[in-house]
Amino acid sequence: MQVPAQFQYEKATSVEHALELLGRYGEDSMVVAGGHSLIPMMKLRLAQPETLIDINGVGELSRIGVDRDAVTIGALVRHAELLDSPVIGEHFPILHDAERVIADPAVRNRGTVGGSLCQADPSEDLAAAFVALDGVALIQGPDGGREVRVREFFTGPYSTVLDQGELLVAVRVPIRSSASAYAKVERRSGDWAVASAGAALRLDDGHIAWVGIGLTAVGAPAFGAPTAEEYLMGAPATEELFEDAGTIAAEHCSPVADQRGPVDYKRHLAATLTTRVLRRAAARWRGRRNHEET
């Protein structure tokens, strides 16, 4: 059985305390949240922090807060909590769609929103969902706080804008009166994606008034599809338009061949899934409007 190299353990009790510990132990320290990515990496010696800073006791990171304009999801909110949250289901069904297909209950009970985003795995489902929703990462560091759009948070595979000593504290998602959907193709239930896509949109008089698209596991730069979004803006929401947008999104992906499939197959999925989630989000939008009118 593989075991991690020896490390020192510190338990943070507040955000300030976590930042103080990160500052004290410097670049040889790492934060642990759910541990579902970090602990396996430590066992494989792909990560060897000398000090592990456990943030699981920081209650302020575990909240889902709602105000008039936005929902703020703490970095320590577990996948299962997101899936069970009625507020999330009401405003962002894309997150419920995504959570239903992330791993299994054991991973969902422990893995966190913040850990998922900070790990920046190219197959991460929540990354694509938050890009589609145009969420904002709330970051705290030794010099104060800063905000970064999730679509600018990822700088490459397993890499983010977070500097040493910084903590992701939450993701804020604007409530912009939109409908959304997420779809994933996996080899078997609970597996990582072969390809996934998410979309959020608002229609105005049958035209696209706002749209966000996110893709995962297909080499979309920073999980986004900005050219497809630009193509859609202002156009009438037809099946043909959604198919064209899927093709454009897929053209801007750079999938790699691996045990989950060849490049052409993944590109095909990127197009098909983008079209599917746009269609589904539009149907949800129209369904909601009809419901409100009756």
Ligand X SMILES: Cc1cc2nc3c(=O)[nH]c(=O)nc-3n(C[C@H](O)[C@H](O)[C@H](O)COP(=O)(O)OP(=O)(O)OC[C@H]3O[C@@H](n4cnc5c(N)ncnc54)[C@H](O)[C@@H]3O)c2cc1C
- Bridge partners of residue 170, in order along the sequence: 74, 138
Candidates 124, 249, 277, 281: give the one binding ligand X (CB under 6 A).
124
34 near ligand X (CB under 6 A):
yes
Q: Which of 72, 112, 178, 275 binds ligand X (CB under 6 A)?
A: 112
Instruction: Determine the interface stretch with ligand X among 2-10, 109-117, 174-182, 243-251 (rule: CB under 6 A).
Output: 109-117
Burial class from Cβ neighbours inside 10 Å (0-12, 13-18, 19+) for residue 291 reads exposed
200-229: contacts with ligand X (CB under 6 A): none
- The 3-state DSSP class for residue 239 equals helix
Pick the closest to residue 172 from 71, 63, 59 (CA basis): 71
Which residues are bridge partners to 292 per DSSP?
Answer: none
Task: Compare residues 75 and 203 and give the one whose CB is closer to ligand X.
Answer: 75
Residue 29 lies near ligand X (rule: CB under 6 A): no
Minimum distance between the CB of residue 192 and ligand X, rounded to whole angstroms?
A: 5
State the Cα angle at 191 between 179 and 138, rounded to 5°: 50
- C-beta atoms surrounding 229 within 10 Å: 21
Residues 221-280 contacting ligand X, CB under 6 A: none
Nearer to ligand X, 112 or 178 (CB): 112
Number of residues that bind ligand X (CB under 6 A): 27
- The residue assigned the tokens 């145009």 is 134
Helix (H, G, I), strand (E, B) or coil at 248: helix
- Enumerate binding residues for ligand X (CB under 6 A): 30-38, 75, 102-103, 107, 111-112, 114-116, 118-119, 124-126, 162, 167-168, 192
